[in-house]
Every structure is written in structure tokens, then in C-alpha cells.
Amino acid sequence: MCGKYHVSTEEENIEMRDYLAKALASQSPIAVRSGDIVPSLASPIITSDTVEPMVFGIKLSSVQRLVINARSETAHQSPLYAPMLEETRCMVPVTAFYEWNKEKKPFLFYPEGAKNMFLAGLYKLQESIPRFVILTRPANETVAAVHHRMPLILPSAEFRDAWLQSAQLAREILSIPQDIPLDMRRASA
């Protein structure tokens, strides 16, 4: 499960600063943030034609909490997620994501040799507010040492373009194995 991620806007992270600036320039009433992002907070999200602030988590009348993740293995069959998979895919630019082990200790995962990574997401408008979920998949070897699931990472510009531009290619991306090199460290609680 991916319930918390980090958006760093440190001076040397020009790419993330650019996404944040574009989201702020969108004239959306949603307050976009950087730093640690948890459900109900907004951060810059990339769609096929823009960067805009969106709120992390979708509201469902049948669930009291926000729904924050969708299983990549079954999204195409879900009455909730299948239409979004066809029409409203997005990317969540992050510097790192968190997972918790069985002892509820947090670990931070970040791309090996890169400043940012892009998580596959789905979004929809609810009460005129764009909200998104992050797709998850079985964990790769690095993350599996801590948790059995991880976000679906779009590892290259080709994957990112395919995810945003083609519903057919997006469905294929859902089942591609992920051996993305990640570093990890114990995070403070």
C-alpha cells in the first residue's frame, strides 16, 4: 500500500520545482503542497495535457476513509477503476515513497541514482475537486523486505508517455514486472 510519499523541492531538484510551479500557476483553488503528502492533501499531478493540483484519495459513500490505492492486477475489471483506466490516467511525481513493516516502522524508498520517480495513478472529479489514487502492485525484491505491495512506478519517459497517451498500452503496463532499482532507509516515525 502506498499511503504516504514525499515531494522534495530542494534547490537542486529543478524538475520537481517546475511541477510545483505549474500546479500553483493552474489557478486552482486547491492548496498544493510539497514535503510529505498523506491522504486528503494535494500535490502536483501530471495528466495527458497539464500539471495540476489534485487531492490524494477518492471518496466513496460506502467507505468512511478515503480510498488511496487501486490494485493494478484488478483495476481493469473494477467498476470504479476501469473507466478511469480508460480515460483519466495520471502520474504522481515523487521524490520517495514510504512503506511500513509488520512492526509499523516506516521505511523510505527512493530511486537509485535519480532525484524523482513517477507513480501511476487514476483520477476523477468529485464535487468539482480532482482526486486521485495510486496504483499498487506486488513488491519488487527491495520493497518486499518491508512490505508485500508497492506503487506502480513508470520507469522511463517511454513508459510515462504510453501511460498517459494510450489506454491499450496503459493496460499492458499494469502487468509488466518491475525491477526498478530503489534505495531504502529507515525513516523517522
Q: Give tens-digit pLDDT for 150-184.
A: 999 999 999 999 999 999 999 999 988 878 899 99
The C-alpha cell that represents 108 in the structure block: 523510505
Torsions phi, psi for 147 (to 5 deg): -150, 155
SS3 state at 159: helix
Say how many domains are in the chain.
Answer: 1
DSSP 97-153: EEEE-TT--EEEEEETT-S-EEEEEEEEEETTEEEEEEEEEE--HHHHTT-SEEE-B
| C-alpha 45, offset from chain centre | 9
Sign of CA dihedral 43, 71, 91, 81: negative
CA distance linking residue 147 with residue 58, whole number of Å: 23
What is the pTM for the complete model shown? Answer: 0.95
CA distance linking residue 92 with residue 90, whole number of Å: 7
CATH number of residue 26's parent domain: 3.90.1680.10
Q: What is the pLDDT of residue 177?
A: 84
Q: What is the pLDDT of residue 1?
A: 65
56, 68 in Cβ contact below 8 A?
A: yes
Q: What is the pLDDT of residue 180?
A: 86
Inter-CA distances, 118 with 17, 63, 160, 163, Å:
15, 28, 8, 11
Task: List, for the chain, all residue ranges whose pLDDT scores fall below the cut of 70.
Answer: 1, 189
Q: What is the pLDDT of residues 54-65, one digit of tens each?
A: 999 999 988 889
Domain hosting residue 92, numbered range: 5-186
Q: What is the pLDDT of residue 189?
A: 62
